[in-house]
Structure 1
Amino acid sequence: MSDDRAIEISAEQVRRALAGDAPRPEVTCFFNEPTFTATYVIADPSTGRAAIIDSVLDFDQPSGRTSTESADEIIAFVELKGLTIDWLLETHAHADHLSAAPYLQEKLGGKIAIGRDISAVQEVFGRVFNEGTQFPRDGSQFDHLFGDGDSFSVGDVAAIALHVPGHTPADVAYVIGDSAFVGDTMFMPDYGTARADFPGGDAHQLYRSIRRLMKLPDETRVFLCHDYKALPNRTHFAWETTIGAQRTGNVHVHEGVTEDAFVAMRTARDATLDMPHLILPSVQVNMRAGHLPEPEENGTRYLKLPLDLL
């Protein structure tokens, strides 16, 4: 499907939901402050079918211990509401937290899904971690791979996947009813946009992906994957905004900012940023659809730490 056609379908879907001619989802956020990550439960109130986007497996790096406390909170909510999970959606292979999708799938069901360009991320980081031929680079660890413009549903709520590369080659935004879940393409308007300096990232692509999303109606609800408060101007976490607010007020990419100006800003800013402190464990796990590495002969699982490489 062409870029223009996919965004036209998405925009029409949003307009119908806003007008009351199609169902709108109920969205509940679970914010994980240690990783500044917003996980969403998106439910169709009429059918009780639901999806979970960008879940978090708690991980303490100094001790190497994992925990399911954050995921268990989501499970308790889903069970309390009597929801049926159809989808466990990832917007991309996160570099700042481990996915809890396999654990949630074991407890709640649903298909683990991501964009089909995850294979590009697997190819790059398969080499970084010297995974060898036993590690497939075709996305087969996931239950479903979305192409640009692929449609699906959450109960009776129409949904579409949009390929929005730039932060990584595989980023996907999910437009569900009147709501867009945009991953790391954009943050709150006062914080700006995601970095584009990871392997396979591209600031030009990020700019074009954001401009594409801004073709959605201004009233489209926008749900973000992270928030960092944008201190000192804001002292509370926030994760919901609108396309209109992004288009007119995003400090990095509002209307009038040219692609060249954005790329120059993003490149200079990215050069000052440290690597996310959980990037090495996170990517090793998330490129496997959240599955931990297989135990070695002593029964223990290990994560690799490449020295002097990145």
Structure 2
Amino acid sequence: MTPQIQAFFDDATWTVSYVVFDEPGGHCAVIDSVLDYDPKSGRTRTQSADRLASFIESQRLTLQWILETHAHADHLSAAHYLRSRLGGRIAIGAAIAQVQEVFKAVFHLEPGFSTQGRQFDHLLQDGEVFPIGRLQAKALAVPGHTPACVAYQVGDAVWVGDTLFMPDVGTARCDFPGGNAHTLYQSIQRLLSLPPQTRLFMCHDYPPQGRPPAWQTTVASQREHNIHVRDGTTEAAFVQLRTARDATLEMPVLILPAVQVNIRAGAMPPAEDNGVSYLKIPVNGL
């Protein structure tokens, strides 16, 4: 079956979330949901996630999977909230354990914090096939931006996470803990070896001035036009470009709260004895 796809763009974080489903009244998956977070007040809202939930309910869909392409650094995941509202299983790539190990140390998390991915309902292995109702989905490991990045292939559509952006924006940064530009290049080549007509769906868009946000392209377009990794770009040239560019980039605004929440599958840290959850700011830690 060809998947039916509904995209939701979050203006605050430039994130695109998706509902992927087989048919109205059938089953669906959510990919890369957003929990609204105000860094000035520390308050959360569910407006973005409620848009997805309302669509799912309007189509009479059963939420089967809540999928993460990786532990995002630029927005908080609404996976925990969506599961509590609509059910479903939260899944991420099995290499999330490596990311948890790194950031448990960075944030000096509580001793009981598991670095084996137990916060998630299912850890996906590279090449693992799983159903979304009548659809068949496949997890593709695409590390480089983080060690745990996963793309999801359903029919002729692939959700690439932060591995690739629109061709006029380029590719993901590799300077976060565990990132590697050589590895990202190999992951991108894996995606660009798919049939030219394969549809690629982005997790973010940061459009150049004058272009409205967009999030769908093709393998053929990426191979011809991507400003960082078009056909003919060698691994050495890509690594040099990516490394030089990464050295000029600031940290994402929400990286500190986002990573702490996202390695917990969208849940907040355990409440302290006053009933309040706290997010940590490691001073001079990154």
TM-score (norm 1): 0.91
After TM superposition, give the deviation of residue 179 of structure 1 in Å.
0.5
Whether the aligned pair in 2 keeps the contact of 1:97 and 1:278 (CA below 8 Å) is yes
State which drifts further: 32-41 or 240-249.
Answer: 240-249
RMSD: 0.9
**Equivalent of 1:79, from 31, 37, 57?**
57
Whether the aligned pair in 2 keeps the contact of 1:47 and 1:155 (CA below 8 Å) is no
Secondary structure (helix, strand or coil) at the match of 1:125 reads helix
Q: Percent of aligned positions with the same letter in both sequences?
A: 58
**Equivalent of 1:299, from 275, 282, 285?**
275
After TM superposition, give the deviation of residue 159 of structure 1 in Å.
1.0
**Equivalent of 1:261, from 216, 219, 237?**
237
2:260 partner letter: Q
* Counterpart for residue 204 of structure 1: 182
Find the aligned partners of 1:298 and 1:98 in 2 and give their Cα distance: 24
* Counterpart for residue 61 of structure 1: 39
> Residues 122-271 of structure 1: matches in 2 within 5 Å?
122-231=100-209, 234-271=210-247
Secondary structure (helix, strand or coil) at the match of 2:197 reads coil
1:48-90 CA-partner distances (Å, limit 9, x unpaired): 1100000000000110000001111111111111111100000
Whether the aligned pair in 1 keeps the contact of 2:24 and 2:60 (CA below 8 Å) is no
2:189 partner letter: R
After TM superposition, give the deviation of residue 132 of structure 1 in Å.
4.0
Whether the aligned pair in 1 keeps the contact of 2:24 and 2:59 (CA below 8 Å) is no
After TM superposition, give the deviation of residue 156 of structure 1 in Å.
1.3
* Counterpart for residue 100 of structure 1: 78
After TM superposition, give the deviation of residue 155 of structure 1 in Å.
1.2
Find the aligned partners of 1:31 and 1:244 in 2 and give their Cα distance: 24
Provide closer, same or farther for how the CA distance between residues 172 and 243 of structure 1 changes in structure 2, counting only shifts above 3 A.
same
Find the aligned partners of 2:271 and 2:181 in 1 and give their Cα distance: 38
1:81-115 CA-partner distances (Å, limit 9, x unpaired): 11111000000000000000011011111100000
1:189-244 CA-partner distances (Å, limit 9, x unpaired): 0100000000000000000000011111111111000001123xx42000001111
Secondary structure (helix, strand or coil) at the match of 2:91 reads strand
Find the aligned partners of 2:63 and 2:274 in 1 and give their Cα distance: 35
Provide closer, same or farther for how the CA distance between residues 150 and 47 of structure 1 changes in structure 2, counting only shifts above 3 A.
farther
Whether the aligned pair in 1 keeps the contact of 2:24 and 2:61 (CA below 8 Å) is no
Find the aligned partners of 1:79 and 1:194 in 2 and give their Cα distance: 33
Find the aligned partners of 1:30 and 1:140 in 2 and give their Cα distance: 28
1:243-278 CA-partner distances (Å, limit 9, x unpaired): 111111111001000000000000000000000010
Secondary structure (helix, strand or coil) at the match of 1:85 reads strand
Find the aligned partners of 1:78 and 1:191 in 2 and give their Cα distance: 31
Secondary structure (helix, strand or coil) at the match of 1:52 reads strand
2:7 partner letter: C
Find the aligned partners of 1:241 and 1:146 in 2 and give their Cα distance: 25
* Counterpart for residue 88 of structure 2: 110
* Counterpart for residue 3 of structure 1: none
Find the aligned partners of 1:291 and 1:41 in 2 and give their Cα distance: 21
Extract unaligned runs of 5+ from structure 1.
1-22
**Equivalent of 2:252, from 276, 289, 302?**
276
Residue correspondences, number: 286
After TM superposition, give the deviation of residue 294 of structure 1 in Å.
1.2
Whether the aligned pair in 2 keeps the contact of 1:97 and 1:282 (CA below 8 Å) is yes
Find the aligned partners of 2:171 and 2:60 in 1 and give their Cα distance: 36
Whether the aligned pair in 2 keeps the contact of 1:47 and 1:156 (CA below 8 Å) is no
* Counterpart for residue 8 of structure 1: none
After TM superposition, give the deviation of residue 34 of structure 1 in Å.
0.4
Extract unaligned runs of 5+ from structure 2.
none
1:286 partner letter: N
